[in-house]
Amino acid sequence: SRASDEMGYSLPKRVSQYVFLVPGDSAQSATFLFSSVEIIRLGNSFYIDWDRKMYYPLNDTPAQARTTTLNEELGQIKYIFSDKTGTLTQNIMIFNKCSIDGKSYGDVYDLEGHRVEVTESTPKVDFSYNPLRDSKFSFYDVNLVESVRRDDPPTHKFFRLLALCHTVMPEEKKEGTLVYQAQSPDEGALVTAARNFGFVFRARTPETITVVEMGETVVYKLLAILDFDNVRKRMSVIVQSPKGELTLYCKGADTIVYNLLHPSCGPLKEKTTEHLEEFAGEGLRTLVVAYKDLDEAYFEGWRRRHHEASTALVEREEKLAQLYEEIEADLMLLGATAIEDKLQDGVPQTIETLGKAQIKIWVLTGDKQETAVNIGYSCNMLSDAMDDIFFIQGHSSEEVREELRKARKKMKPDTFVEDEGSGSDTQIQQPGKSQILPEEQPNGEYGLVISGHSLAYALEGNLQLELVRTACLCKVVICCRVTPLQKAQVVELVKKYKKAVTLAIGDGANDVSMIRAAHIGIGISGQEGMQAVLSSDFAFAQFRYLQRLLLVHGRWSYIRMCKFLAYFFYKNFAFTLVHFWYGFFSGFSAQTVYDEWFITLYNLVYTALPVLGMSLFDQDVDDRWSLQFPQLYTPGQENLYFNKLEFVKCTLYSVYSSLVLFFVPYGAMSNSVRSDGKAVADYQSFALMAQTCLLIVVSVQMGLDTAYWTAVNQLFIWGSLAMYFAITFTMYSDGTYLIFTASFPFIGTARNTLNQPNVWLAIFLCVTLCVLPVVGFRFVKMQLRPTISDKVLSRVRELEKRPPVPLPKRRLQRSISRRSGYAFSHQHGFGALITSGRNMRPKSPFGIMGSFSPNSEKHKD
């Protein structure tokens, strides 16, 4: 697993080195350890697959554990790196508002001119006049429909652009029933909006685009597609109308398109910017649309140069980029679109719960800062209750450094005194020294928002340390306008400087690098395909299931694995150290203190099932309390349940137990006689008594470590003890000795030893002496120095006596200025695929593409 290979956080791998410290048959112990670990991991993975509370019925998607090696790491997460679109939001885009020629559409007003909130009872615009409408589309502002129907030129040009400038593929299996296959939900929403307002994208070939404009079918020649990429942040198409008019239509981010506008668009640009600020304040995703009329002679020359650049063998991309910049200059602004991407159900509650578990959440998104910040408030990540929210927007390395240091100085003023005294900034980066930064506690609760261009400077070598020290002091970090590569770089940065388990969650192809970079990757099967799921370790359909995966399954898996490892070392150390004490009395010969059959069956039969039962079914509290008290998750982050100190404690307790298990039977057997006067102080009787004491003690210890008793646990523990006595009496019987004389020499030892009261009294004494220190230590520790888990468990026991009180719901108020948010989720290269025709069927699914009209007789009611 990535977590175990890169950090050493896999518990079995980290402690496997200790297996060979166990005297005796270490190979058998190691084999039992790793085989048991795989069984435990497999069982806990099945629990995730079978969890009905992580099943999403709307698209029939259960949770899926795609690996079995990372279950316990789910209980140790400190940092979550999340995408926004499709992960926190539904990625189901709805055309909500728009700005056309300086006029804003989409709001609903009452008779007095006051804006009213749109609800389910708000009357919708009637699109029944359009036979090719999408019945699922909803819009509430009738003014936009009236503008379209009165043939307003800017409005018609606006929706004509939406119907032409895209890479959507139409499908019409039945005449008049259109289904759009969009590369991104944003494009699908825009084309669907144009369709309902009377500009229906009907069909396309590599050379043409067919649009039904207000009932009339128009076939445009598709001359070029200027494709989208992460640098351009826009796309354009060049089409020729049936009248021979050449037009370039462009849509993209406002910061990009604004730089390409003609100077005469200044007043309209200011008005559109006001609308963009308003749209972004409501959390809407925006695009700016513009056009340009082209001269035919100029275009022919440009087209020839474009062909030469596209076929060039050297610097092809650079030449094409220059040509795109040339022809996209001096655009005429049309307006802007605003698309709503609603939050998924339960996202605010999930993030709030994870925050209480001391998990820090970093949002890495390609959207603009204003949209991301607004979503941060909606998700309960950011709040006005925070001491401060820092915005890093520097345009140079020095500016970014100064802003980061200023933020860190406010969060932890003494950090600069420490730096000056220790020179830690330089020491940590020296070769051969540890790069792990210590955990620092801020003097309050803070958030950090950093833009994409500032992040590019911060990820440079000389600023990486400053970024990670400042960001890790914050409760929430939001990185805006980041590329897929930058997402992975941010994750790698935290992994490099922090001793913490990281988790990345996303739903699209642009999140794959981030998912693969983190210790644990989670894919959400949403609207953007299965690339993220196929690259992930765990997968489910909704972000809200993350809290159950971590706080329930992850925590349980971590606790179970820690208990298994502690019990494994205890029972094996206690088992083998008895041989060490026996050596002082046997001259350190090859003589074993136990019967050789007991040695063989100890790990394989007598103690195998009880520890597996505990490791598969144990839970300190049920899932309801795990979610209600997220503080229970914090011990796993600090690895408190199994570490070097716990291993030393386990070893010392094993040494003590082995002393009791040897010397109590030795003392009980020395110079003792049976009730009939015959001596029992022989080797075979001592061996039987010692191994019986050992098995009962480790079984009682198993009972003490078990917090959740089930019928399976009872069966395994009592069944293992019963099996031991049954096998012992069978192997030590006269019949077995007569059949296998050389293999079973302990004839009659069981019936002659275990029928003596003093033997059982010695066994009881062993159990008491071994268990009392454990019970006493745990009681005193809970009274004098209770841990967070002890306090929460005590509270849980109180609350279990009465039904839990529901937590009050609170509404967060926010007041912060915002601007427009960029929404575009294309992949580069799709335009070339369309113009090549490789993704199109050889035969059109309908045969009247160029002559169909919604005003034909068959469509008139």
Q: Which sequence positions are flagged as catalytic? A: 83
**Number of helical (H) and strand (E) elements in the chain, helices listed first:** 34, 23
Residue type for 486, please?
Answer: Q
Other beta carbons within 10 angstroms of residue 807's beta carbon come to: 9
Measured CA to CA, the distance from residue 335 to residue 291 in angstroms comes to: 10
Asked whether the beta carbons of 401 and 463 are under 8 A apart, the reply is yes
Cα separation, 162 vs 106, whole angstroms? 17
Q: How far is CA 455 from CA 87, 400, 404, 410, 647, in A?
A: 22, 8, 11, 20, 42
Contacts of 335 (CB under 8 A, 6+ apart): 98, 99, 100, 101, 102, 154, 158, 272, 288, 289
Q: CB–CB of 668/660 below 8 Å?
A: no
Q: Tokens 């993209």 identify what position?
A: 252
Q: What is the DSSP string of 269-282?
A: HHHHHHHHHHHHHT
3-state secondary structure of 334: strand
What token pair was written down for 774?
């454990």
Tell me which DSSP letter residue 265 carries: G
What span, in angstroms and rounded, lies between the C-alpha atoms of 83 and 93?
16
Integer-rounded Cα radius of gyration of the chain = 35
Residues 370 and 29: their CA atoms lie apart, in Å, by: 58
Those residues with Cβ within 8 angstroms of residue 663's Cβ, 6 or more apart along the chain or in another chain: 581
Phi, psi of 497 (to 5 degrees): -105, -5
Quote the CA–CA distance of 755 and 408 in Å, as a whole number: 74
Are 83 and 365 contacting, i.e. CB atoms less than 8 angstroms apart? yes
End-to-end CA distance of the chain: 64
In whole angstroms, give the CA distance from residue 283 to residue 803. 38
Whether residue 824 contacts residue 252, with contact meaning beta carbons closer than 8 Å, is answered with: yes
For residue 31, the tally of other CB atoms under 10 A from its CB is 14
Q: Cα separation of 43 and 630, whole Å?
A: 24
Strand pairing of 77-82 and 360-364?
parallel
Residue whose tokens read 């033997």:
759
Closest to 179 (Cα-Cα) out of 202, 196, 198, 161:
202
Calculate ∠ Cα 448-453-455, nearest 5°.
45
For residue 510, the 8-state DSSP code is G
Both tokens of 614, joined, read 């505990």
Q: Which residues pair with 774 in a beta bridge?
A: none
Query: Which contiguous run of DSSP H or E holds residue 538?
Result: strand 538-540
Could you tell me which of 397, 281, 410, 267 has the C-alpha nearest to residue 333?
267
Which two structure tokens, joined as six digits, stand for 856?
A: 């034909």
Q: What is the Cα 282 distance to its own chain's centre? A: 27
For 678, other C-beta atoms within 10 Å of its C-beta total 8
User: 584 is written with which tokens?
Assistant: 């002082």
**592: amino acid identity, one letter:** T
The residue behind tokens 């092809």 is 316
Alpha carbons within 13 A on the beta-carbon side of 541: 15
